[in-house]
Structure 1
Amino acid sequence: MSNSSKQITNLLTFDIEEWFHANYEQVTPDRTKGSSFRAHMDTLLQMCSDAKCKATFFTLGCIGEDYPDIVKAIAREGHDVASHGYAHELAYKQTREEFRADVQKSVDILENLTGTKVLGYRAPSWSIVESNLHYLEVLEEFGLVYDASIFPVKTFLYGIPTAKTEIHKPIVNGKELNLFEVPMSVMRVAGRNVGYSGGFYFRFFPEFIIRKAIQSANRRGKSSIVYLHPREIDAREHKLELPSKEHFIHYYNIKGTKAKLANMLEAFSFTSISEHLSNQYKR
């Protein structure tokens, strides 16, 4: 790895949810099958420990209810426990008051478990879009430090393709919020923004492309953000019954994800969002 890459710290994030947490209409998962969630979390925490890095764990409130010991373990190991909402509901299908109640419920659960203030939020399925961008005002009212819900791309599910691609304080209704927006990393391909370092994109692109994209961002002084779900490191985990297109997006190349993540943790420096912000910006 180049010295320029070493000098930049990238951001490691996980969306902490079960295999059945998704937002596909007319899909009712059989939750009685159980899951390997505990084993996945043990693996992720051990990988972070081995790499000597901190990460941000965007955790559902219902996970806090079902696995309080795991949430406590995340915090005990010095990671950032942030909110992913309560039950993986799409923010753009909630009213502002429903969104407020959802975030409040998750924050209360997580703070009661960890004894520390929740600093950040990521909407399930990147569901802060142009139509509900003003929901960020709710996060500011809660005193959160950052949001990481905006993906500067356009897909059939989410995205704000014209959104800023660097960390910034967003302007909503003509006012700059006292809240950092930490948008998902993108690269330019044929004049369009494309993700490369998380979820489907992380699984889809060959490792050398991801490495080059992170190195390119780091040379420009920018951090790249990795995001993954616990289910993505285990090809044997139960799967949702999805149409072919959605199945491809949700499960393509899961068998290669764990090794690819391990290689990235070895090649680049990573930390949590809150630690990065406290190091780089005056709060």
Structure 2
Amino acid sequence: MTNLLTFDIEEWFHANYDGLTPDRTKGSSFRAHMDTLLQMCSDAGCKATFFTLGCIGEDYPDIVKAIAREGHDVASHGYAHELAYKQTREEFRADVQKSVDILEDLTGTKVLGYRAPSWSIVESNLHYLEVLEEMGFLYDASIFPVKTFLYGIPTAKREIHKPIVNGRELHLYEVPMSVMRVAGRNVGYSGGFYFRFFPEFVIRKAMQSANRRGESSIVYLHPREVDPSEHKLDLPSKEHFIHYYNVKGTQAKLANILGAFAFTSISEHLKGQHT
């Protein structure tokens, strides 16, 4: 069973907490983080999907070209990490289109997938998936079947599917984030905070269970999560815990998971399993 490896390609200061004005003049170790992630993919012999901000394409065109050159998916993460549910439908369309134009110009290949910043496709703006369909996307990967104070659609389907919006099945796939059932609730386990929070044996067990059911597990991480020395946002205690807990252990845990399971990109998986 092949699992799906994804990264949200953004800087350490890209976040969507209210009232946050990070000091972007501090610089970053973004290039080093990307070298690390690309090398880890190479070492594991796997392909991944890199959901990339359009502004990253403007600031680091060589890195976007390197991602594509090494055979990975370059997918859209929007232009500047703005929450989709705070945009009008037309603002959303313009934002996604801006990112697509930048990324396609750099790579020379069609952008097939999209993931909203901070999982910001929720019930109130689910119809924005129609925009992605109209733009010719193969898939969306923005829905997290959980409920948190930041995001989530807890009743969403857990498997890859073609979503129904306004009574119509769309001509694109929804690739929801992986969850496990804990005390009757959906809980993430294989990405971001959940990947950092849960011990490796819990992640392995959940992935094995999903694979036995014939389901792919989806890993997602950010470049900043492989470097505990990267600059940090000044956040309240709860948000700081969510954003940074156990960053120091992420790189080694990811290397172990990549060595224990088979991974590929979302578009390669869809071509092989859902066409």
Q: Sort the TM-score into its range (normalised by shorter chain).
A: over 0.9
Match for residue 149 of structure 2 among 146, 156, 176: 156
CA distance in 1, matches of 2:32, 2:266: 24
> What's the CA shift for 1:151?
0.1
Q: How does 1:174-253 map to 2 (within 5 A)?
A: 174-253=167-246
Corresponding residue of 1:80: 73
1:15 aligns with 2:3: no
Aligned CA-pair RMSD = 0.3
1:169 aligns with 2:162: yes
TM-score by length of 2: 1.00
1:30 aligns with 2:30: no
CA distance in 1, matches of 2:114, 2:138: 9
Task: Give the paired residue count.
Answer: 275
Residue type at the aligned position of 2:159: E
Identity %: 89
Residue type at the aligned position of 2:203: I
CA distance in 2, matches of 1:138, 1:107: 13
Match for residue 271 of structure 1 among 245, 264, 273: 264
Corresponding residue of 1:61: 54
CA distance in 2, matches of 1:104, 1:236: 34
Corresponding residue of 1:99: 92
TM-score by length of 1: 0.97
Match for residue 110 of structure 1 among 103, 107, 118: 103
SS of the residue 1:57 aligns to = strand
Residue type at the aligned position of 2:156: A
SS of the residue 1:187 aligns to = strand
**Any gaps of 5 or more consecutive residues in structure 2?**
none
Residue type at the aligned position of 2:123: E
SS of the residue 1:10 aligns to = strand
Corresponding residue of 1:5: none
CA distance in 2, matches of 1:180, 1:237: 35
SS of the residue 2:127 aligns to = helix
CA distance in 2, matches of 1:124, 1:88: 5
1:133 aligns with 2:126: yes
CA distance in 1, matches of 2:201, 2:8: 24
CA distance in 1, matches of 2:219, 2:255: 12
> What's the CA shift for 1:259?
0.1
Residue type at the aligned position of 1:101: A
CA distance in 2, matches of 1:51, 1:205: 22
CA distance in 2, matches of 1:141, 1:107: 14
SS of the residue 2:35 aligns to = helix
> What's the CA shift for 1:27?
1.0
> What's the CA shift for 1:128?
0.1
Runs of 4+ in 1 over 4 A off after TM superposition: none
> What's the CA shift for 1:281?
1.1
